[in-house]
């Protein structure tokens, strides 16, 4: 079996396998120019996947939103993802274009034996985005998913290798959905790259999308693209 | 002979005499007197400094006050590290009281996590406890507890209630009778000189032959530079809660008795004083 199983139901990702999946993932990323790279830390030889991209965002500030107080974050978030107004409403809305630099890191958690997604965003002048500002760009349907459970949330944490503040999607529930999908995948004798599977599920929640070609990625990838 | 339970009390009630001084560039309406406080080693800066904040805000104008942050000799202090760890790591071999500078402006976004409310501290604290139990018990003990038990751990810490805290925490320190310890030991090793904030790896308290691993075994495995003497001289100290435990101490015992309330052993490697 390509995944080690600690119990009947759970697929745990060993660190060696994590590194291998990342290596295959980066190879594919390089083929399609998707910008992912592996960074190794100098002192201990561990490392992480990294991707930086820039996004132009249209910031809508509906006039009545300025009055809403910050206690009602949920309402504010949904207001942010409304469709942009058509021309007839444009007069009542101010909008500014901003360039935002997003950074995504995939690290391995030895405590939970799963990958963990770290991310941060800042404006070009270096000012970091707050969590609320980042949530504003998350699609409404994913926001609902995030509300489930006190620990399945985004929090600010210290990056374990860089020591700087990042936002983190909490890993403790990762195994629930990953195990179900991997089990189904194994039953059909389909090989799956754990990182592709996992990142395609959690990534969109925080504005990160994977091109469909990653789905062809399998462990022990040969150069024969017909494998699968 | 000291009872093991006395160690739990000594760890819980450890205090550091601290002097808080307002940063000189902060704008005040009159002179700000320093504020003295005994800080609990096991707690977090933003949890125990309400009085400090109030004291300095009295001499400042409202518009000059935003999120409080602390600094020691130019280094921003990470509120999410326990106070005792911060002291051991940065100031243990200096004269008391510990002199901390208080800031209300220019929050260092690249260095410090924000702490807008006590809820943030609670979430961080519980996340650490949860991770520690993932290592010790595959999360079985923490997941079996009710929400009110989790709340009791936090309230015990927040209100400095040893008995209340340990009524629940003792369950997190148990292990199955057929085992001789936890699955893995929750620990982090800190060195102020590295970019990496800490070292954390999987480490079993019991060797395959059944012997108890020691603190020395742990360091040899994950941080050998801490115990290998350079040119015959031991240049560093290994410090937990302000003391240097013997390297022969079983790591299982250290985990049960000298962990912080978050159930982690936070270990500092610091330069040995030369005199």
From the list A44, A111, A158, the residue facing B131 with the nearest CB is A111
| B144 inside domain | yes
Identify the active-site residue in A3, A94, A122, A172. A172
Q: How far apart are CA A52 and CA A35, in angstroms?
A: 7
Q: Are residues B163 and B182 in the same domain?
A: no
Confidence (pLDDT) at A63:
45
Q: Are residues B164 and B189 in the same domain?
A: no
Q: Is the pLDDT of residue A201 over 50?
A: yes
Please name the residue of chain A whose CA is at the shortest distance from the CA of residue B78.
A158
Q: Are residues B147 and B186 in the same domain?
A: no
Strand partners, A169: A117, A154
- Cα of A141 to nearest chain B Cα, Å: 25
Split into its structural domains, chain B has a count of 3
Q: How far apart are CA B47 and CA B115, in angstroms?
A: 10
A219 touches chain B (CB under 8 A): no
Contact at CB, A163 and B197, closer than 8 angstroms: yes
A172 contacts in B (CB within 8 Å)?
A: 130, 134, 139
Please name the residue of chain B whose CA is at the shortest distance from the CA of residue A131.
B114
Q: How far apart are CA A102 and CA A166, in angstroms?
A: 11
Contact residues, B window 60-99, toward A, CB-based 8 Å cutoff: 78, 80
Rg (CA), chain B: 20
What residue ranges do the domains of chain A occupy?
21-57+97-211
Q: How far apart are CA A85 and CA A62, in angstroms?
A: 10
Please name the residue of chain B whose CA is at the shortest distance from the CA of residue A108.
B201
B192 touches chain A (CB under 8 A): no
CATH class of A21-57+97-211: alpha beta
Q: How far apart are CA A91 and CA A86, in angstroms?
A: 10
Please name the residue of chain B whose CA is at the shortest distance from the CA of residue A165.
B113
CATH number at residue B199: 3.10.20.90
**Among candidate residues B185, B143, B216, the one with its CA nearest the CA of residue A111:** B185
From the list A6, A112, A158, the residue facing B197 with the nearest CB is A158
Contact at CB, B80 and A164, closer than 8 angstroms: no
| B22 inside domain | yes
Q: Are residues B181 and B159 in the same domain?
A: no
Task: State the average pLDDT for chain A.
Answer: 73
Helices B118-137 and B162-172: crossing angle, nearest 10°?
A: 30
The residue among B74 and A72 whose pLDDT is bigger is: B74
Which two tokens mark B145?
């507890």
Sign of torsion over alpha carbons A142, A147, A152, A153: positive
Predicted ipTM > 0.90: yes
Q: What is the pTM of this model?
A: 0.86
User: Which residues 6+ apart lie within 8 Å of A124 measured at CB?
Assistant: A99, A101
End-of-domain residue from the set B157, B174, B191: B174
Which two tokens mark B8?
């739990």
B130 touches chain A (CB under 8 A): yes
Q: Tell me the pLDDT band of A110, cut-offs 50, 70 and 90.
A: very high
Sign of torsion over alpha carbons A211, A212, A213, A214: positive
Sign of torsion over alpha carbons B206, B207, B212, B218: negative
Which two tokens mark A25?
């993932």
pLDDT tens digit string along B3-25?
888 999 999 999 999 999 999 99
Q: Do B134 and A112 form a contact (C-beta atoms < 8 A)?
A: yes
A156 touches chain B (CB under 8 A): yes
Domain range for B210: 175-274
B138 contacts in A (CB within 8 Å)?
A: 6
- pLDDT beneath 70, residues of chain B: 1-2, 275
From the list B80, B134, B139, the residue facing A158 with the nearest CB is B80
Classify B188 as helix, strand or coil: strand
CATH number at residue B21: 3.10.20.620
Lowest-pLDDT range of A115-119, A205-209, B167-171, B182-186: A205-209
CATH number at residue B125: 1.10.246.190
Q: How far apart are CA A43 and CA B217, in angstroms?
A: 20
| B7 inside domain | no
A110 contacts in B (CB within 8 Å)?
A: 200-202
Q: Are residues B32 and B58 in the same domain?
A: yes
Which H or E run includes B10?
Answer: helix B4-12
Q: Mark whether A22 is an active-site residue.
A: no
End-of-domain residue from the set B130, B145, B174: B174
Alpha carbon of residue B178 to chain centroid = 31
From the list B113, B114, B135, the residue facing A111 with the nearest CB is B135
**Among candidate residues A50, A153, A131, A208, the one with its CA nearest the CA of residue B113:** A131
Say how many CB pairs under 8 Å bridge A and B. 54
| B108 inside domain | no
End-of-domain residue from the set B74, B103, B132: B103
pLDDT tens digit string along A7-66?
445 667 889 999 999 999 999 999 999 999 999 998 888 999 999 988 887 665 444 444
pLDDT tens digit string along A162-173?
999 999 987 666
**Among candidate residues A76, A105, A80, A74, the one with its CA nearest the CA of residue A168:** A105
Contact at CB, B110 and A161, closer than 8 angstroms: no
């Amino acid at each position: 079996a390509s995944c080690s199983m600690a119990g009947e139901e759970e697929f745990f990702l060993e660190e060696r396998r994590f590194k291998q999946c990342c290596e295959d993932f980066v190879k594919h990323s390089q083929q399609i120019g998707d910008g992912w790279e592996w960074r190794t830390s100098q002192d201990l030889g561990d490392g992480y996947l990294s991707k930086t991209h820039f996004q132009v965002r249209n910031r809508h500030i509906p006039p009545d939103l300025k009055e809403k107080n910050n206690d009602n974050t949920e309402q504010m978030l949904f207001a942010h993802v409304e469709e942009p107004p058509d021309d007839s409403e444009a007069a009542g809305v101010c909008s500014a274009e901003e360039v935002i630099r997003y950074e995504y890191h995939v690290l391995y958690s030895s405590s939970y034996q799963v990958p963990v997604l770290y991310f941060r965003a800042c404006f070009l002048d270096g000012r970091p985005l707050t969590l609320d500002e980042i949530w504003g760009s998350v699609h409404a349907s994913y926001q609902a998913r995030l509300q489930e459970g006190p620990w399945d949330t985004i929090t600010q944490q210290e990056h374990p290798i860089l020591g700087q503040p990042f936002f983190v999607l909490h890993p403790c529930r990762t195994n629930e959905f990953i195990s179900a999908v991997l089990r189904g995948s194994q039953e059909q004798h389909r090989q799956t790259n754990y990182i592709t599977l996992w990142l395609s599920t959690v990534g969109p929640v925080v504005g990160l999308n994977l091109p469909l070609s990653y789905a062809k990625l399998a462990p022990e990838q040969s150069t024969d693209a017909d494998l699968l | 002979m000291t009872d093991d339970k006395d160690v739990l009390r000594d760890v819980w009630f450890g205090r550091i005499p601290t002097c808080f001084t307002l940063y000189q560039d902060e704008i005040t309406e009159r002179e700000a007197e320093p504020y003295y406080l005994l800080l609990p080693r096991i707690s977090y800066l933003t949890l125990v400094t309400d009085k400090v904040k109030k004291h300095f805000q009295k001499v400042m104008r409202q518009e000059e006050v935003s999120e409080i942050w602390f600094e020691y000799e130019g280094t921003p202090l990470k509120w999410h590290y326990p106070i005792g760890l911060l002291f051991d790591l940065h100031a243990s071999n200096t004269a008391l009281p510990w002199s901390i500078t208080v800031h209300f402006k220019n929050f260092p976004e690249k260095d410090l996590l924000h702490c807008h409310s006590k809820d943030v501290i609670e979430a961080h604290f519980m996340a650490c406890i949860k991770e520690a139990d993932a290592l010790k018990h595959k999360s079985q003990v923490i997941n079996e507890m009710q929400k009110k038990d989790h709340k009791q751990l936090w309230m015990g810490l927040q209100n400095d209630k040893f008995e209340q805290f340990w009524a629940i925490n003792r369950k997190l320190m148990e292990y199955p009778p057929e085992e001789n310890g936890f699955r893995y030991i929750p620990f982090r090793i800190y060195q102020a000189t590295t970019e990496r904030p800490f070292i954390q790896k999987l480490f079993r308290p019991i060797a395959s032959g059944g012997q108890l691993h020691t603190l020395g075994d742990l360091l040899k495995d994950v941080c050998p530079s801490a115990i290998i003497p350079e040119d015959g001289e031991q240049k560093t100290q290994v410090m937990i809660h302000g003391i240097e435990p013997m390297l022969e101490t079983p790591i299982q015992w250290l985990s049960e008795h000298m962990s912080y309330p978050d159930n982690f052993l936070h270990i500092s490697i610091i330069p040995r004083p030369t005199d």
